[in-house]
């Protein structure tokens, strides 16, 4: 009888533990479902804003053309791949991987600034982003920098004189004597 009582107590304890685990599992599954639903909604909302901004900036940088961002590979937006298509004026719709170096740069810049329209940042570092661009595209890029510089501080690393012309401040490194580097700064007012 004593062993039976001990086994019944143990069985009751184990049953309670199992029920607690099943309840916790149910709560976790419900929480995961809510998180997934919220993440999907937020992702799609943000992606829609980025799409609109990307198209707007793309058309400004390319003076026309069309651009798209679309989800492929899965019906679940959290699992889908993001595909970027770009059509500079007078060309057919292509994946970004098929564009020239300058077109890729402008398309990536349009995407970056499209994201900035949705989620601005206080500062941005751009390293030689204007290197593959011709003079006309550099001017459009610089105009874009000026427009966005009211809300974002840009640090642009460049060798392009046209890009340097739009700067408020210019920092450079020079070597007056062999092996001795010196930082030179100029503030334009």
Task: Say what the pLDDT of residue 54 is.
Answer: 96
pLDDT tens per residue, range 157-179: 999 999 998 998 999 888 888 88
pLDDT tens per residue, range 22-37: 999 999 999 999 999 9
Confidence of residue 94 (pLDDT cuts 50, 70, 90): low
Task: Give 54-57's long-range contacts (Cβ < 8 A, gap of 24+).
Answer: 54/110, 54/111, 54/114, 55/114, 56/114, 56/117, 57/109, 57/110, 57/111, 57/113, 57/114, 57/117, 57/144
CATH code assigned at 44: 3.40.50.300
Last residue of a domain, one of 61, 86, 119: 119
Q: Are residues 111 and 125 in the same domain?
A: no
Q: How many domains does the chain have?
A: 2
Looking at every residue in the chain, the average pLDDT score rounds to 91
Q: Which domain holds residue 50?
A: 1-119
Global confidence as pTM: 0.79
Q: What integer is the mean pLDDT of 76-85?
A: 91
Task: Say what the pLDDT of residue 141 is.
Answer: 93
**Cβ neighbours for 72, distance < 8 A, ≥ 6 positions apart:** 80, 81, 82, 83
Last residue of a domain, one of 61, 87, 119: 119
Q: Are residues 86 and 130 in the same domain?
A: no
Using the predicted structure, report yes or no on whether residue 14 has a pLDDT greater than 90.
yes
Using the predicted structure, report yes or no on whether residue 121 has a pLDDT greater than 80.
yes
CA distance linking residue 52 with residue 110, whole number of Å: 11
3-class state of residue 95 by DSSP: strand
**Which tokens sit at 19?**
């029920």
Q: Are residues 102 and 142 in the same domain?
A: no
pLDDT tens per residue, range 126-161: 999 999 999 999 999 999 999 998 889 999 999 999
CA distance linking residue 125 with residue 155, whole number of Å: 5
**Cβ neighbours for 91, distance < 8 A, ≥ 6 positions apart:** 65
Q: Are residues 104 and 169 in the same domain?
A: no
């Amino acid at each position: 009888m004593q062993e039976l009582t001990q086994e019944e107590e143990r069985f009751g304890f184990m049953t309670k533990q199992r029920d607690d685990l099943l309840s916790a599992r149910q709560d976790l599954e419900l929480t995961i479902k809510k998180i997934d639903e919220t993440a999907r909604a937020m992702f799609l909302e943000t992606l829609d804003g980025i799409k609109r901004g990307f198209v707007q900036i793309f058309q400004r940088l390319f003076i026309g053309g069309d651009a798209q961002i679309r989800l492929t590979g899965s019906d679940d937006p959290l699992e889908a791949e993001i595909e970027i298509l770009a059509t500079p004026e007078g060309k057919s719709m292509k994946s970004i991987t098929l564009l020239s170096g300058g077109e890729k740069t402008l398309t990536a810049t349009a995407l970056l600034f499209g994201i900035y329209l949705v989620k601005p940042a206080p500062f941005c570092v751009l390293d030689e982003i204007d290197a593959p661009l011709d003079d006309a595209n550099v001017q459009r890029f610089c105009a874009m920098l000026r427009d966005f510089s009211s809300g974002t501080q840009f640090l642009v690393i460049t060798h392009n004189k046209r890009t340097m012309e739009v700067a408020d401040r210019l920092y450079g490194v020079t070597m007056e004597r062999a092996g001795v580097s010196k930082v030179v700064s100029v503030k334009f007012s």
